[in-house]
């Protein structure tokens, strides 16, 4: 095969990030300190203006801290999609609460508000939609449902830095919103997470939970973790923050090109009023998805990802929470989705190759 492999994702880490790390290493102070504080302020101003964010050492810890700060615990239920990465439901389960899985919509890949409302019980404490692939969930409807039933709204915005709905940024709708900084996400700090809050008391609890329950040293107020971000990671994140808007614009331009040129697959829907940041560019291939993925790779050297082939409610770890629920749209998506490369490192030639590969494979299969 003459053409180089086009990977489905490619973290961009350059000289600026290396210099920033070196600066922190040279300072001799590497644990949570001034870099983390600066990163929190800058991240909040950039993505969730008016909110305070708390930095932690992963997106998963961010969900855990957010849920605990909001008072979620044993005996509570939190409504979540099954069609997501396992961290969403894992964080709920680790608080002692029960993740209640609901179906997604038939076109969008985010939770169906009607299914959410139908799943509310006297034990429901919160609803945690996921802005999957970088597309905002139906926050208007979900907000109204949460208000009507007196439950909290949370946001798993792990994949959605900069996404918005009706001019409002994700991470500003819920009691908390979590952004992941894992290397394949739209920006990275190595590992890390950011949690936005609109309530000072929740911020205080989140900071306590992050640091063994201590605000003053050895005056521990509650039982907490060590979920601190290091200054090394924060320094990387601060450099990436200055670049992420250009990367997002590049993802969106790549997506527009694919939308205009792909044939034989269902291109990603974008809801009215939504800004999609294309963490993934996910198409549906109704017939023989796995054969399609194999042909892209074997015949065209184009990498594609399947997120996620097994819904959470059928994972060995989480199926105990599933209560024989039927989630037909979740099952259909799990069997049909393919994420094509959309990352900012793609060249024009790469994009042309992706289009040719997809259109050739779908034509051959038709
Ligand atoms: C990546 C991700 C997480 C977890 O973030 P980590 O930083 O990997 O811990 C949670 N939810 C979703 C939807 C994710 O994609």
> What single string gives the DSSP state of each residue in 85-122?
-THHHHHHHHTT-EEEEE-B-SSSSSB-HHHHHHT--T
Point out which residues pair with 135 in neighbouring strands.
Answer: none
* pLDDT score recorded for residue 117: 98
* pLDDT score recorded for residue 366: 58
* pLDDT score recorded for residue 364: 86
Residue 171, sorted as left (phi over 0), alpha (psi -120 to 50) or beta, turns out to be left
CA distances from 290 to 47, 107, 287, 300, 336 (A): 36, 20, 9, 15, 9
Integer Cα distance of 37 and 59 in angstroms? 17
Q: Binning pLDDT at 50, 70 and 90, where does residue 208 land?
A: very high
Q: Tell me the percentage of the chain whose pLDDT exceeds 70.
A: 99
Instruction: Kindly give the distance from the C-alpha atom of residue 87 to the centroid of ligand 1, in angstroms, as a whole number.
Output: 6
The pLDDT tens digits of the residues spanning 288-307 come to 999 999 999 999 999 999 99
Candidate of 78, 80, 159 to mutate for ligand 1, largest count of ligand atoms within 8 Å of Cβ:
159
Which ligand 1 atom sits nearest the alpha carbon of residue 63? 10
Candidate of 82, 155, 182 to mutate for ligand 1, largest count of ligand atoms within 8 Å of Cβ:
182
* pLDDT score recorded for residue 253: 98
Placement of tokens 């792909």 in the chain: 262
Q: Which two tokens stand for residue 241?
A: 């923050």
Give the global pTM: 0.97
The pLDDT tens digits of the residues spanning 31-81 come to 999 999 999 999 999 999 989 999 999 999 999 999 999 999 999 999 999
Which ligand 1 atom sits nearest the alpha carbon of residue 84? 13
Integer Cα distance of 106 and 110 in angstroms? 9
* pLDDT score recorded for residue 3: 87
Query: Structural domains in the chain?
Result: 15-103+110-241 (3.40.640.10), 244-364 (3.90.1150.10)
Taking the CA of residue 100 as centre, how many other CA atoms within 13 Å lie in the half-sphere pointing to its CB?
A: 18
CA distances from 120 to 33, 79, 151, 174 (A): 42, 8, 9, 17
Helix (H) or strand (E) holding 62: helix 59-69
Looking at ligand 1, which residue's alpha carbon is closest to its atom 5?
59
């Amino acid at each position: 095969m003459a053409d180089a492999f086009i990977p489905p994702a490619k973290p961009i880490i350059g000289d600026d990030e290396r210099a920033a790390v070196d600066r922190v290493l040279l300072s001799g102070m590497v644990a949570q300190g001034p870099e983390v504080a600066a990163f929190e302020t800058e991240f909040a101003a950039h993505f969730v203006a008016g909110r305070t964010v708390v930095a932690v050492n992963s997106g998963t810890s961010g969900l855990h801290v957010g849920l605990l700060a909001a008072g979620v615990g044993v005996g509570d239920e939190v409504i979540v999609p099954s069609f997501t990465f396992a961290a969403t439901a894992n964080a709920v389960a680790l608080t002692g609460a029960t993740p209640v899985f609901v179906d997604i919509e038939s076109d969008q890949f985010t939770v169906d508000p009607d299914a959410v409302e139908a799943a509310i019980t006297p034990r429901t404490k919160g609803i945690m939609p996921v802005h999957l692939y970088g597309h905002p969930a139906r926050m208007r409807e979900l907000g109204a449902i949460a208000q009507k039933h007196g439950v909290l709204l949370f946001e798993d915005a792990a994949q959605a830095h900069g996404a918005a709905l009706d001019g409002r940024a994700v991470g500003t709708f819920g009691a908390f919103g979590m952004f992941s900084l894992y290397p394949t996400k739209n920006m990275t700090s190595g590992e890390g997470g950011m949690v936005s809050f609109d309530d000072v008391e929740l911020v205080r609890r989140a900071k306590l939970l992050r640091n063994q329950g201590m605000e003053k040293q050895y005056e521990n107020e509650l039982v907490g973790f060590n979920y601190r971000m290091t200054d090394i990671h924060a320094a990387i994140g601060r450099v990436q923050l200055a670049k992420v808007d250009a990367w997002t614009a590049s993802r969106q331009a790549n997506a527009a090109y694919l939308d205009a040129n792909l044939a034989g697959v269902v291109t990603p829907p974008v809801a009215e009023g939504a800004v999609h940041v294309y963490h993934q560019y996910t198409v549906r291939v109704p017939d023989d998805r796995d054969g399609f993925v194999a042909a892209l790779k074997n015949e065209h050297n184009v990498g594609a990802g399947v997120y996620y082939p097994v819904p959470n409610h059928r994972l060995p770890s989480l199926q105990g929470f599933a209560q024989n629920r039927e989630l037909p749209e979740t099952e259909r998506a799990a069997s049909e989705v393919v994420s094509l490369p959309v990352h900012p490192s793609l060249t024009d030639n790469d994009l042309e190759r992706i289009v040719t590969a997809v259109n050739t494979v779908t034509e051959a299969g038709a």
